[in-house]
Every structure is written in structure tokens, then in C-alpha cells.
């Protein structure tokens, strides 16, 4: 290993001599460079080098080469000012400056030190990719460096990366993009994309990028032909753009005889040009159609792919592409008419003007587009009367009615269009969903919330009551919404809102739902009820009895632990620690107490024990012993128990807990050793 490192260091001598001769680095700096490189080389040649070793070496060489480049530029900039001669005239001074510049450029022409750093980094990348062939991030770093330096090894590295990772679409796309953008080789880029599609036929990104590349190529051809004066309409829906370009540059097209008369053979020439242009756009459109049909054949069930194809086609002015757009839309409807997402996309797609995307966004235009979307949604719910379809329909209306929402439709933001006149339409959507039996819990909550936003309080209360007592009797969120409405209604009803009669009605409401639904679904309702009745002792005791029954059925789950902890907290806040102890003892006596409940009770006692309360310390020890009986393998319980004894206990009790934990856990690293 040492011989190999020494050999690589000896190969650097010419580079180091050149750096010293040019005055870029002194001997001390070069000695430090050699030392650092020797360390890196030994790290790379150990038995199992790490990926980070290669990256650290590359980062050091990049910084070193950047420093060399900065010093070289500084020296070159400072060189012209070093002139002490007095010239007789400005011309002589300028001539002398040119001569000195030539001599300086000759002195600073590219030498071995200018390329050695880049070559060394490339060599390190090569060794890294040989060692870590499966590291895609390393391959892309390698490729980016080659592209930035415009090195000739780029094509070789791309071939190696694709050979090791032929199923990675990103590499094929990267290679084709480099050939297309940097190497200006359209044929090679097309061949790479086609090879990539043969290797990754199910990659949506490959098909999309292939289409983008072909459209970009057609764009370039269009720009070239228009610049040459050929009025080709391949990528334009009319010839106004090219005609305008000719008018603005008419001096380039003036006839030689200074006359405006057209030559006699202009018409045949125009016909020939038109035939040429027709052939041109047909070939371009044929390529795009071939890509589309190949993508559909490879991914027949991908809705996203076809939507992206249509969005790309709609974003460019490709002449005679309307037939292809209609074909894509027809295929979408034929293949995805059973999919709710298709109908939602197609309805929202109506808000974009397919034929004239730049049309004005006036009130009438927005109304027409909205009516088209409504017609699509109405057809969708007739064909697919499902909960998901109604949910998408309702979401569309909410995005239209409330433009300040996060997912609102941008077309209706800051516009003159008043969507509030369509509020009855969205209510009909919810009513239709209810009549079809497609009203889910989320839809029902949206329905009730919309009535509240429209300030229809009584209608919202009646609706919530009907749904809670009917098909959605198990919808906890709907019950929570109904309880909130009832509480707010009572709170705003006169000078003494919470009368005995009102409290009785509210308790009956909570008792109905809390007795019916498990505690895992009604955690929010429990907290709401306890907050409401915390100062009403009779109702609170009834609520606790109901909670004891629900918690005994729930077992030791986290939701039950949170509800039980809240009950203890209210007792502590209202009646003090004595009543809170009685309450947590009752709760811990239920079958399968939760570990979180133990931890909450222990925390209460431990806080008092830290203040010197011996009875609280005894209670905390009892709680820890009980928790260990239920959860003997929980290391966190043992650690906390041991930590408590170290803080407020004695060395004997701390050692006892330590040895008990060691015996139960059979692991000496579970707790830190007690101090002597």
C-alpha cells in the first residue's frame, strides 16, 4: 500500500514544480499539500475505504484548484500596472502595453498545473464509482463535474453509468439532455431516449421528457426557418407572427430592382413552399403521435401520463395539433370513465380555454367555463354515484365559493365574478349525496359547516341532529360538531345561558354519544364535556362513572390514558391532590392500565417528592412497583425509577433499584452503574 501511495505522489512532482515556478505556492504550502494528499491516499487504500473518504479528498482538491485559479488571476491582473517606463506618446504606450500583454499571455499559457487538478479529481471519482457502483448520487456528482468542466470523458462516464444502472430513467434522461443541449446531437439524444424507453417502458418521466425533447427540437427548427424568412406554420396557429417578423425587418427582403412588384413566378414558388411546410408539420405531428401511442401502449392505466401529455400539447402552439388533443381527450373518456379522478380533472380542465388560452377572464367568460364544469360534474355523479365523486364535486364548489382557501382555483381569485349566487348549487350537491346514501362523515361535516358559514344556524342544528340520529350515528366528528353548535347556541341565549334545563339537555347529548362510541373515537368529546361540566359536581360525577365504564372496555390504549389523565387533572385542579390520588387509584384498578397513565400519575407524585414530601415519594415508589409488574421490560420505567431514587432517595434504595433492573432486564447497559 505504501508503494502505491508513494508512486502516486511521485507523479505529482511536475505539477508541484510548475506551481512553485509560477509563484502560485511557496515550498511550505506545497509541503502541506503533499502531506494532506498522502493522508487522503492512505485513507483510500485501506481495506474498506468509506464513501466519505473519497468525497473529502474531492472537496479538498476542489478548494485547492480554486485557490490556484484565484492566485493566477490576481497575478495576471497585477502584471499590467508594473511599468516604470515613460513613453513619449499614447500610441507608443498602447503598443508597449500590447507587447507586454503578449509576453504575459505567453508566460501564462496553459501548463500542467492548470489541468492536473481536474484530472486528479476525475481519477478520484473513477475510483469512487468503481468502489461504489450502486451509489447513484456519486455517479451524478461525477457527471456534473464532467459537464461543468466540459471534459471529454463525459460520454464515457455516461456509458458506464448507464451500463451499471440501465433501469434508472434519470440517467437516460440526463444523457439525452446532455447530447441535446451540450453536444447539439439530436440524433444521439433521440437514440438514447428510445434505448431508455426499451429499458424502462413503464417510466412516465421517460415518455414525458421524450415528448418535451421532440417539441423543443421542433421549436428550434421553427425559429431557424422563420429567421431564414421561410413562413413555416409548424408551431403556430396562424402566420401572423412570421409576417410581423418580416414587416419589422422588411429591409432584409427588398428586391434587387428596387420595385415592389412581385415576380411572375411567385405563385408557383409559394405553392412549393406551402407543400414543403405541409410535409414539415406532418412529419413533426407524426413523431408526436407515435410517442403518444407508444406511451399509451406501455402504460394503458396511467391517467397522470395522459394528463401531462395534454397539458404539454396545450402549452405550445403546435399547428394542426387539435386533432391529437381531441384524440387524447376521447381516449381519456373511453379508458377512464369509471375513475372519479378523471371526471374531477376533466371538469376542472373546462376552466382552461383549450382553443384560446389567452382569452379574457371576464364575468361572462368565467360563467360559461363554470357552467361547462358543472355539466361535467353532473354527468359524473349520474354515471358514478359514489362518495368519492360527491366529495370531489363538493370540493370543487368550495374552491370556487371561497377563493381564499389554500387549494382554491386561481381563476376565481381577484375577479369580478360573484360566486356567492351559486351557493344553492353546492347545497343541492350535498342533498343529492344524502338522498343517494353517499353522504360520508367528512361530507356531512362539510354540509353542516357550510350551513353555519351561510348563517343558517337552525338549519345546521336540525341537519346535524337528523344525521346523528340517522345513518351517521357513529360519526364522532359530526357529534363533536353538533355538540359545539349546541354549546354555542346555549352560551349566546340570554343573560343566564347555562341553566339547569340547558345543562341537563347538554348532558343528555354527551351521555348519548359517549355511551355509544368507544373512547378511542371520542377523545375530543370527552375533553369538551369535562371542560363544560368541571364546575358542576353532580354532572361531573355522572360523567366520571360513564368514563369508568368506557375505559374498562377500552383497555390500556393511549386515547383512554389521555382521557383518564384529564379526569385526574380536573380533580387536582378543583379538589386538590388528595382527591386526585383517590381518582387515579380507581383508574389504575381498571383492567389493563396504560403505561402513559402510570407515567402521568408518577410525574404528579415525583414533583411533590422533589419538594420534600415523603408521602409523595412513597406513593411514587408504589406506582413504579405497580408499573413494573405490568411492564417489566420497559427500560424507560426502570431508568426513571432509578433517577428518582438518585435525586430524592438514598444510596441503598438506588442500589436496590439498580440490581432489580439488572436482574429483570439481564442487561448491564440498561442503567448506568450506581456511584460508590
The residue that leads in pLDDT, 358 or 458, is 458
Per the model's pLDDT, the better-predicted residue between 612 and 254 turns out to be 612
C-alpha separations of 216 from 125, 296, 313 in Å: 33, 21, 12
Q: Is residue 323, in this structure, part of any structural domain at all?
A: yes
Mean of pLDDT values over 80-93: 54
Residue 411 has pLDDT above 90, yes or no: no
- pLDDT tens for 306-315 read 999 988 888 7
Joined grid coordinates for residue 583? 381518582
More confident residue, 284 or 303: 303
Instruction: Check pLDDT > 70 for residue 121.
Output: yes
593 is a domain residue: no
Number of domains in the chain: 1
In a domain, 217, yes or no: yes
The pLDDT of residue 79 is above 70: no
C-alpha cell of 238? 396562424
In a domain, 59, yes or no: no
Q: Tell me if 47 is assigned to some domain.
A: no
219, part of any domain: yes
Q: Which of the pair, 617 or 282, is modelled with greater confidence?
A: 617
pLDDT one-digit tens code per residue, 360-382: 456 777 788 888 899 999 999 99
The length of the chain is 676
Q: Which structural domain, as residue segments, surrounds residue 290?
A: 202-230+278-337
Which residue from 394, 358, 391, 388 is spatially nearest to 374, judged by alpha carbons? 394
Quote the pLDDT of residue 426: 87
pLDDT value for 266: 45
Task: Give the pTM.
Answer: 0.73
Q: How far apart are CA 287 and CA 217, in angstroms?
A: 11
> Which one, of 511, 505, 539, lies nearest residue 525 by Cα?
511
Average pLDDT over residues 98-106: 60
pLDDT band at residue 271 using 50, 70 and 90 as cut-offs:
low
Q: Which pLDDT value is given to residue 403?
A: 66
What band does 84 get if pLDDT is binned at 50, 70 and 90?
very low
Q: In sequence order, which residues have a C-beta less than 8 Å from that of residue 446 and are 6 or more positions away?
A: 394, 398, 430
Predicted confidence (pLDDT) at residue 394 exceeds the cutoff of 70: yes
Residue 520 and residue 535: Cα distance in Å, rounded? 25
Given a cut of 50, is residue 256 above it in pLDDT? no
Q: Cα torsion for 467, 468, 471, 476, to the nearest 10°? A: 120
Look at residues 464, 470, 427 and name the one whose alpha carbon lies nearest to residue 444: 464
Mean pLDDT, the chain, integer: 83
The answer to whether residue 308 is domain-embedded is yes
The predicted pLDDT at position 6 comes to: 87
If you ran DSSP here, which 8-state letter would residue 151 be given? -
* Averaged pLDDT for residues 609-631: 91
pLDDT at position 249 is 45
Domain assignment present for 127: no
**CA pair distance 53, 45, nearest whole angstrom:** 10
Amino acid at each position: 500500500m505504501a508503494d502505491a501511495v508513494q508512486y502516486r505522489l511521485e507523479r505529482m512532482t511536475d505539477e508541484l514544480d510548475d506551481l512553485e515556478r509560477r509563484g502560485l505556492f511557496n515550498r511550505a504550502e506545497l509541503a502541506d499539500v503533499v502531506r494532506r494528499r498522502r493522508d487522503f491516499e492512505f485513507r483510500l487504500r485501506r481495506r474498506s475505504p468509506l464513501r466519505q473518504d473519497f468525497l473529502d479528498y474531492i472537496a479538498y482538491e476542489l478548494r485547492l484548484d480554486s485557490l490556484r485559479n484565484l492566485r493566477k488571476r490576481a497575478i495576471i491582473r497585477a502584471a499590467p500596472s508594473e511599468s516604470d517606463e515613460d513613453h513619449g506618446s499614447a500610441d507608443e504606450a498602447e503598443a508597449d502595453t500590447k507587447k507586454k500583454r503578449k509576453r504575459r499571455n505567453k508566460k501564462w499559457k496553459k501548463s500542467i498545473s492548470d489541468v492536473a487538478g481536474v484530472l486528479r479529481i476525475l481519477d478520484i471519482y473513477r475510483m469512487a464509482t468503481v468502489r461504489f457502483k450502486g451509489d447513484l448520487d456519486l455517479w451524478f456528482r461525477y457527471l456534473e463535474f464532467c459537464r461543468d468542466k466540459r471534459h471529454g470523458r463525459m460520454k464515457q462516464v455516461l456509458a458506464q453509468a448507464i451500463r451499471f444502472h440501465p433501469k434508472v430513467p434519470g440517467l437516460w434522461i440526463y444523457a439525452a439532455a446532455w447530447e441535446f443541449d451540450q453536444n447539439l446531437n439530436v440524433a444521439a439524444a433521440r437514440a438514447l431516449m428510445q434505448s431508455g424507453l426499451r429499458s424502462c417502458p413503464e417510466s412516465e418521466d421517460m415518455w414525458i421528457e421524450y415528448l418535451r425533447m421532440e417539441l423543443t427540437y421542433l421549436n428550434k427548427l421553427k425559429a431557424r426557418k422563420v429567421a431564414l424568412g421561410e413562413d413555416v406554420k409548424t408551431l403556430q396557429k396562424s402566420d401572423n407572427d412570421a409576417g410581423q417578423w418580416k414587416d419589422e425587418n422588411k429591409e432584409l427582403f427588398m428586391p434587387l430592382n428596387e420595385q415592389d412588384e412581385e415576380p411572375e413566378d411567385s405563385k408557383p414558388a409559394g405553392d412549393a413552399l406551402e407543400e414543403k411546410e405541409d410535409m414539415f408539420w406532418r412529419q413533426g405531428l407524426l413523431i408526436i403521435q407515435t410517442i403518444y401511442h407508444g406511451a399509451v401502449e406501455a402504460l394503458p392505466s396511467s391517467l397522470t401520463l395522459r394528463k401531462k401529455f395534454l397539458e404539454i400539447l396545450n402549452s405550445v402552439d403546435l399547428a394542426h395539433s387539435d386533432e391529437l388533443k381531441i384524440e387524447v381527450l376521447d381516449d381519456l373518456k373511453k379508458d377512464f370513465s369509471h375513475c372519479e379522478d378523471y371526471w374531477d380533472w376533466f371538469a376542472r380542465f373546462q376552466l382552461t380555454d383549450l382553443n384560446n388560452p389567452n382569452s379574457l377572464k371576464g364575468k361572462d367568460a368565467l360563467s360559461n367555463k363554470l357552467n361547462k364544469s358543472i355539466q361535467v360534474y353532473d354527468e359524473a355523479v349520474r354515471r358514478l354515484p359514489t362518495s368519492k365523486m360527491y366529495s370531489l364535486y363538493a370540493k370543487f364548489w368550495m374552491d370556487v365559493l371561497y377563493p381564499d382557501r389554500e387549494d382554491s382555483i386561481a381563476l376565481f381569485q381577484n375577479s369580478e365574478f360573484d360566486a356567492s349566487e351559486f351557493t344553492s348549487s353546492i347545497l343541492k350537491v350535498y342533498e343529492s349525496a344524502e338522498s343517494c346514501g353517499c353522504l360520508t362523515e367528512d361530507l356531512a361535516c362539510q354540509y353542516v359547516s357550510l350551513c353555519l358559514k351561510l348563517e343558517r344556524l337552525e338549519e345546521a342544528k336540525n341537519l346535524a341532529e337528523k344525521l346523528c340520529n340517522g345513518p351517521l350515528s357513529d360519526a364522532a366528528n359530526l357529534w363533536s360538531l353538533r355538540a359545539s353548535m349546541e354549546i354555542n347556541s346555549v352560551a349566546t341565549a340570554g343573560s343566564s345561558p347555562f341553566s339547569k334545563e340547558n345543562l341537563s339537555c347538554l348532558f343528555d347529548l354527551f351521555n348519548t354519544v359517549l355511551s355509544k362510541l368507544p373512547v378511542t373515537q371520542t377523545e375530543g368529546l370527552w375533553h369538551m364535556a369535562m371542560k363544560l361540566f368541571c364546575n358542576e359536581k353532580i354532572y361531573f360525577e355522572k360523567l366520571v362513572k360513564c368514563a369508568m365504564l368506557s375505559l374498562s372496555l377500552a383497555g390500556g390504549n393511549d386515547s383512554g390514558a389521555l382521557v383518564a389523565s384529564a379526569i385526574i387533572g380536573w380533580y387536582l385542579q378543583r379538589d386538590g391532590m388528595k382527591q386526585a390520588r383517590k381518582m387515579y387509584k380507581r383508574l389504575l384498578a381498571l383492567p389493563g392500565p396504560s403505561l402513559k397513565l402510570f407515567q402521568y400519575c408518577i410525574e404528579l407524585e415525583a414533583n411533590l417528592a422533589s419538594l420534600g414530601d415523603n408521602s409523595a415519594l412513597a406513593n411514587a415508589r408504589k406506582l413504579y412497583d405497580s408499573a413494573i409488574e405490568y411492564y417489566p421490560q420497559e427500560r424507560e420505567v426502570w431508568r426513571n425509577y432509578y433517577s428518582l431514587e438518585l435525586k430524592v432517595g438514598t444510596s441503598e434504595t438506588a442500589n436496590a433499584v439498580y440490581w432489580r433492573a439488572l436482574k429483570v432486564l439481564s442487561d448491564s447497559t440498561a442503567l448506568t452503574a450506581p456511584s460508590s
